[in-house]
Every structure is written in structure tokens, then in C-alpha cells.
Amino acid sequence: MRSNRYVQNFRQRRALILSRDWRAIETISAMAARLGMSIESVVPDDGGLPPILDVADAQCDVLFLDGDLNFLPETGQGGAGGGSGPPHIPVIGLVGIEAPSRLRALMQFGATAFLSKPVHSGSIFSALYLAINTFDNMSGLRLSIQELEHRRRYRRHVIKAVTLVMKSRSLDDEGAFALLRKEAMRARLSLEAYCEGVVQRSTARSLDEKGRRQGT
């Protein structure tokens, strides 16, 4: 489970700087060093994103991406190395031209914080704090949504299981649900997973009985 605690210390992280703006590179490098980060400045060619992004790690790396580069996703290009899409790491967009198209392109690339150029060293800590913690929050939310979607898909098993228990134990729906929840907790399973098992066992039993009846 994701912690709700915010990241406040960026030591041992790696700052990947993707820019041709030497002033921005210089300012970010100096500040990142003060924050205990290592620095990897990558001057991109126009052919696409550098392969280093393919192996970037969300827990170790943060990308400073210059919005003035001309291979951002607004053109439908992008994709690190083999075109696998934006890297799943925190991204800080460096904004030279505040045009909505540039900002949109940076957001589509995953930017969760912006730094206006020329970069002011006093803003970098705040941008890192915002980018990394927003990225973590969004990752946590994405996992929660996946989990909820998964459980929603299994909801029909719960309904079936409640109906089965109501019939077999002569209980009302509330009683059946309470019994299933208790058994799920005892089995250390989610309600949905337990109900899936109940339904599968019931279906198997029905098939057996049907088979036996046909056999006799």
C-alpha cells in the first residue's frame, strides 16, 4: 500500500536534464547537486528521446524536460528509443514559451510541475517537491482505480453468491452478505475473490449433479 507521507528529501535521486539551454542546465545542475542529487545532462538529437529514458526508474529518477525541444508528443512523435511512449517517471517541464500547445505537450508527456525559463534556482526545490509528490499521488490513484475496476468486474460474483447463500441457508440478503463477508475475512480474501470461489464451487457441484443424473 502506498504511504501518504510526502517525499521531502531528494538525495540519491538522479536528475535527467533534457535541454539545449545551457543556462537552464547550469542552474538546475548546481541546485540539484546542493540537494544531494546526481545529474545526467542529455543533449537530445532531433531523432527522438534518448535511450536512457527507457531504463529510467520512477523511484530514483526525475526528468527536467525542455518544452522548447521539437520532438514532444504534440507532433505524434515521442517514445523513448523504440517508441514506447513517455517514461513513467516524474517530469518537470521547462517552459520557454507559455503557449497552450507547449504546455499541453509537456502535460501529455507527464509533467506534473513547470519551471519557467530562465530557471530561477529558488524555484527548483518547490518544483521537485510538487512534481515527485504529485507523480506519487497520481500513481497511487491509478493503482486504486485499477483495484476498484478489478473489484467492480467481480461484483456479479458477489450478487450470485448472495443469491446462492440466501437459497441454501434460508437467509435474507443482508444475512447472506454478512455471512459471506465474515467467511471472506476468515479466508483472508477480498469479498469479491471469495464470492468468485463460492460461485465456482456451486457451479462445479451443479455440473457434477447434472452429470450424475444423466449417468443414471
Partner 1 sequence: MVREYPIGLLFSVTGSYGTVGASMLHGARLACRQINADPEFGVRLSPIEHNPGSDLNAYAPAVETMISSGVRNVIGCYTSSSRKEVIPVFEKRDALLWYPTHYEGFESSSNVIYTGAAPNHHMLPLVDYFTRHIGHRVFCIGSNYIWAWESNRILREELAQRHGTVVGERYLPVGETDVDCIVEAIFAAEPDIIFNSLIGESAYAFFRAFRAACCSRGIDQAQRYPIASCNLSEPELDSIGPDAVDGHLSSSVYFASIDTIANREFVSRYNTAFPDNHGPSAEAEAAYVATILLAQSLRAAGTDTMNDVKTCAANQRLRAPQGEVVIDPETFHTYLTPRIGRSRADRHFDIVYDAGNPVAPDPYLINSTSILEASPLRPSFRIVS
**Site residues, partner 1 (CB under 8 A):** 3-11, 31, 33-36, 121-122, 125
DSSP assignment, residue 53? G
Long-range contacts of 178-182 (CB under 8 A, 24+ apart): none
Contact 157, 200 (CB under 8 A): no
Give CA 13 to chain center in angstroms: 19
Q: Least separation, in Å, of the C-beta of 8 and partner 1?
A: 5
Beta bridge partners of 41: 17
How far is 135 from 137, CA to CA, in rounded Å? 5
User: Residue 7 CB, nearest distance to partner 1 (Å)?
Assistant: 6
Query: How near is the Cβ of 3 to partner 1 at its closest, in Å?
Result: 6
Task: Indicate the residue among 105 and 131 with the shorter CB distance to partner 1.
Answer: 131
Nearest-approach distance from CB 120 to partner 1, in angstroms: 8
Report how far residue 6's alpha carbon sits from residue 187's, in angstroms, rounded to the nearest whole number.
34
> Which is nearer to partner 1, 33 or 138 (by Cβ)?
33
Select 65 or 115, whichever has its Cβ closest to partner 1: 115
Of 121 and 200, which CB lies nearer to partner 1 in the complex structure? 121
List the 14-18 sheet strands across, edge first.
Answer: 38-42, 14-18, 61-66, 91-95, 111-116
Q: How far is the CB of 12 from partner 1 (least distance, A)?
A: 8
User: Whole-number minimum distance, CB 163 to partner 1, in Å?
Assistant: 27
Q: Residue 174 has which C-alpha cell?
A: 443482508
Beta bridge partners of 94: 66, 115
Q: Decide whether 10 or 64 has the Cβ nearer to partner 1.
A: 10
Nearer to partner 1, 123 or 202 (CB): 123
For residues 128 and 149, what is the distance between their CA atoms, to the nearest angstrom? 31
